[in-house]
Structure 1
Amino acid sequence: MPNQAIDLFYKIENPDKIIIMFVFNACASLGTSEALDLTKKTLEKMPKTFYSDSYILCSVLDALMKCGDVKYAESIYKSSTTKALPMYGAMMKGYLENNDPKKTIELFKQITNPSEVVFNLCFNACASLGTSEALDLTKKTLEKMPKTFYSDSYILCSVLDALMKCGDVKYAESIYNSSTTKALPMYGAMMKGYIKNNCPGKAINLFKQIENPSEVNLIVFFNVCAQLRTQEALSLVKQTVKKMRKSYYLNSRLLTSLLDAFIKCGDSSSGEILFSKMKKSVENYGNLMSGFNKENNPEKTLDLFNKMKNDGIQANVVIYLVLLKLYQELVIILYRNP
């Protein structure tokens, strides 16, 4: 669709503001060097009167940032005489996308009355940094934030994510517990945070409170169980799978996490059954081969490797490490039993 929009744009002699904004949005969607070149050329030809339109400038900044030209975006931003809130947001988001959360925070500090979007971006930047300074800023920003914003589940998710990634589990729990409406993404943010802070038991307890877990919740839950590697975790996985919606079986990421949980919890048999129904990938082959290795089943490991080759899937480093470990164990067995 963005390519079609650009093709259509070339046919227009005198594009108006809306058309120009559409082409910048298309360039942002593509994020290629060609899209960057078109953004700059369109900007040069654009009537100077359009530069006072904050919506157009936001689209320009978004396109430049998504195409990776941070310096050009900064020059456009600095040359603008009136900086609307959405422009701050476009720049802050762009810095995050280009792995520069510190600049996101620097820009945030210049804003007098941040919007919900701007607050959200600040918390995302703090989460990316994960430092004590970022934690301090998260708490101070939270104190100054309008109370009406506390009802926004997206902001609360970003707050929880920032607090957890900065290592303050207790503060995150206090925010979570004080929230009157707990949206599914908030459960996910807390569960991910517990995993990061080595509290898998708390993540599982939280999962048990969810009536209708989303696909993301299930992925996080299976990751927790894989981390625990216990029979209790395996039992929970099997109970959860029985209740899982059939439509979720179309989610390859979810199935990969489920396969990993089966393997890490020592149930390669269930993993093998699931694997037979999945779209094959080198990651999934590696998981199952590793599981067979742990269960001292070299024949199945080698059979799976040969099947992978027959499927035309290229082996990666993980696969070769699994095979190397297998051969080392076989050599030890042969040495002990000459």
Structure 2
Amino acid sequence: MLKKLLDHRLIFLTSGIKRSVIIPSDFDLCTQMKLLNDKKKFKEALELFDKYKENNNKTLSSYTITQALKASARIRDLQRGSTIHQFISSDMKDNSYILVSLIHLYMQCSEVTRAQSLFDTASEKSLHTYGAMMKGNNYLSIYFLLFFFSSCYLKNHMTNKAIDLFKEIKNPDEVIIIILCNAGAQLGTNEALSLIKKVSSQMPKHFYSNLRLLTSLLDVLMQCGDVKHAQALFDTSTTKILSMYGAMMKGYIKNNMATKAIDLFKEIKDPDEIVINLLFTACAELGTSEALNLTKIVSSQMPKHFYSNLRLLTSLLDALIQCGNVTHAEALFNRSIKKISPLYGVMMKGYNTNNMANKSIDLFNEIENPDDVNFIMLFNACAQLGTHEALNLIKKVLSQIPKHFYSNFHLLTSQLDALIKCGDFSTAEILLSKMKKSVISYGNLMSGYLKTDNPEKVLDLFDRMKNDNIEPDFIIYLCLIKALSHIGDYSLSQLTVQQIPNSFLLNDRIQNTLIDMWVSSN
């Protein structure tokens, strides 16, 4: 009965918003804002907050301010949240609810430095007070904030920070260990693996009955390359859920064991969309006729509504194309009502793989808002053609690429390669001077100059590489020796070869190319 009366009051108060902005008290404001936030009407909650603040000079309660900060965080309105922060009176800034809400706001808006500053400067009193609220356990204040920060660091791709925070927690519970596993999986390093093994060996045995934790543990072991340990843990588990199968399949694929992923899939009775998506990824990795047959069987048997999962559909198209069945992939793509950038991208990739560059370009022209992958596939198609028309298309598209895409190294590398293959070395040189240098970009340009019989440019690029402190690889030395062979200068060849490490000189291809060089230089 009491619940019904409260619900009725909430409905009454909310309906009053539409008729008037007059709110009797801070309590009523807080109640209405909470109701709006619960209904995910965050902008309306903030509008209500602003109108009340205009008509009332009284200090707002911490609960009301917390609701306003929550709404700002959910819509990632940094400017609004910062304004509210400045509005908070000095005696409220140590309030633990407000502190946590402010940290949440800045983390959601990727203002990690400001959030960290708030955490670092928080007084012991505020932490103690929050601990008292959390069932009288003073340690829970720090525990909660560390847990919260770890989650936010993962969201902001600051995995090492999350792991450092974990080390401050004594007796972590299952949720905290799950967060640690997620951080370790993102890092995938030997250091992360060592920490995970240490923690898993020390945690209580009953934690292993938490299947969500077990899934995260399998995932981090796989992502860190310890397939044997993960496999043993998976095999000893008496209860297995789909997410555990998914973690194992994902790990097998990452560790170039696609066949094992497929074998594991065959053990599953009722696979969900995630597991089927992983199967298609494994089949695409193999690219065999057997993988194609399995792809067709599974796709024909899966529920129809799975086809509305565009991520799954993208993986299915990729599997069909990588296994050589372009016709089936085309038919499926054309039947799809909703087409997103990844769908176009996977089709373009397939056309490029199957030497159908013109089809890839035609498909690109259908995309309204191409993403960075679509542009990469276009450049790869143009590089494959190497024609004057392809070069004109590259130059036309360059003006359409959003500026933030230029931070994508793969896009710049494919653009450079396309310019070289289409014979525009002057533009390629300009692009190389502006982009982050790499052994791949130098190698592409050197190969291009060799094909156009310009060996002196190859030697010049080799010298520039040394000035940029970039370590040459096998391809670079191969291009260098071929260039010397074209020039035919014995003294220059002798001087340059002395710079090649002995480990490369033992390679058969390098030795054969060296023979050609010495013959050319008499």
- Normalised to the residue count of structure 1, the TM-score between the two structures is 0.92
Deviations 1:99-119 (A, max 9, x none): 111121122122222111111
Q: What corresponds to 1:264 in structure 2?
A: 421
String of CA shifts for 1:119-163, please: whole Å, max 9, x gaps.
100101111111111100100110111111111111011001100
Structure 2 CA distance for aligned equivalents of residues 267 and 11 of structure 1 = 56
* 3-state SS, counterpart of residue 243 of structure 1: coil
Structure of greater Rg: 2
Is the partner of 1:113 in helix, strand or coil?
Answer: coil
Q: Which AA in structure 2 matches 1:187?
A: Y
Moved more, 237-246 or 303-312: 303-312
- Return the letter of the residue paired with 1:132: S
Check 1:239–1:75 CA distance in 2 against 1; reply closer, same or farther (3 A cut).
Answer: same
Distance in 2 between residues matched to 1:246 and 1:69, nearest whole Å: 40
Aligned ranges 1:90-101 → 2 under 5 Å:
90-101=247-258
1:237 lines up with 2:371 in the alignment:
no
Distance (whole Å) between structure 2 residues aligned to residue 40 and residue 282 of structure 1: 36
**1:188 equivalent among 328, 345, 350:** 345
Alignment partner, residue 254 of structure 1 = 411
For residues 239 and 109 of structure 1, do their structure 2 counterparts lie closer, same or farther at Cα, with a shift above 3 Å needed?
Answer: same
2:287 is aligned with 1:130? yes
Q: Which moved more, 1:147-156 or 1:46-55?
A: 46-55
Higher deviation after alignment, 52-61 or 17-26: 17-26
| Counterpart secondary structure, 2:306 | helix
Residues 273 and 119 from structure 1, CA distance in 2 versus in 1: closer, same or farther, beyond 3 angstroms?
same
Q: Aligned-residue CA RMSD in angstroms?
A: 2.1
Contact kept, 8 Å, 2:159 with 2:183, in 1: the verdict is yes
Structure 1 residues 205-242: Cα deviation after superposition (integer angstroms, max 9, x where no partner): 11111122111111111011111111121121112113
* d(CA) in 2 for partners of 1:194, 1:79: 44
Match of 2:245 among 84, 88, 91: 88
**1:278 equivalenced with 2:430 (yes/no):** no
Contact 2:456 2:483 in 1 (8 A): no
Percent of aligned pairs with the same amino acid: 57
The one of 153, 163, 166 aligned to 2:310:
153
The one-letter amino acid of 1:19's match is I
> Of the candidates 183, 192, 199, which is equivalent to residue 42 of structure 1?
199
Which digits, 9 at most, give the CA deviation of each residue in 1:263-313, with x for residues without a partner?
111111221222222222222223223333344444444333333322222
Q: Distance in 2 between matches of 1:228 and 1:4?
A: 46
User: Structure 1 residues 296 and 73, CA, compared in 2 at 3 Å: closer, same or farther?
Assistant: closer
**2:165 and 2:369 mapped to 1: Cα distance?**
45
Q: Following superposition, which runs of at least 4 residues in structure 1 exceed 4 angstroms of deviation? A: none
Q: Which residue of 1 aligns with 2:270?
A: 113
Q: Aligned AA for 1:57?
A: L
Match for residue 28 of structure 1 among 176, 185, 192: 185
Q: Distance in 2 between matches of 1:275 and 1:7?
A: 38
Task: Identify if the C-alpha distance between structure 1 residues 323 and 5 changes in structure 2 by more than 3 Å, giving closer, same or farther.
Answer: closer
Write the distance in 2 (CA, Å) between the matches of 1:32 and 1:243.
38
Could you tell which deviates more after superposition, 210-219 or 276-285? 276-285
Which residue number corresponds to residue 30 of structure 2? Answer: none
Partner of 1:79: 236
What secondary structure does 2:399 align onto?
helix
For residue 13 of structure 1, give the secondary structure of its aligned residue in structure 2.
coil
Match of 2:166 in 1: 9
From 289, 305, 318, the equivalent of 2:462 is: 305
Q: 2:207 touches 2:213 (CA, 8 Å); kept in 1?
A: yes
Task: Say if 2:459 and 2:483, in contact at 8 Å, map to a contact too.
Answer: no
The residue aligned with 1:162 is 319
CA spacing shift, 1:39–1:278, aligned 2, 3 Å: closer
The number of aligned residues is 334
One-letter code aligned to 2:379: F
Partner of 1:210 in structure 2? Answer: 367
Counterparts of 2:194 and 2:219, CA distance in 1: 14
Please identify, of 17-26 and 168-177, the stretch whose mean Cα deviation from structure 2 is larger: 17-26
Q: TM-score, structure 2 length as denominator?
A: 0.61
State the distance in 2 between where 1:144 and 1:5 align. Answer: 42
Q: What is the CA–CA distance in structure 2 between the aligned matches of 1:188 and 1:33, rounded to whole Å?
A: 34
Unmatched tracts of structure 2, length 5 or more: 1-157, 490-518
Residue 200 of structure 1 is matched in structure 2 by: 357
1:328 is matched with: 485
C-alpha change, 1:277 and 1:113, in structure 2 (3 Å) is same
Post-superposition offset of 1:88: 1.1
For residues 117 and 229 of structure 1, the distance between their equivalents in structure 2, rounded to whole angstroms, comes to 39
Q: 1:276 is aligned with what amino acid? A: S
DSSP-derived class of the 1:99 partner: coil
* Alignment-mate amino acid for residue 167 of structure 1: G
Deviation, 1:97, is 1.4
Higher relative contact order (CA 8 A, sep 6+): 1
What is the aligned partner in structure 1 of residue 33 from structure 2? Answer: none
Q: 1:200 to 1:77 in 2, by over 3 A?
A: same
What is the rounded CA distance, in whole Å, between the counterparts of 1:220 and 1:261 in structure 2?
11
Return 33-42 or 271-280, whichever deviates more: 33-42
What code does the residue aligned with 1:191 have?
M
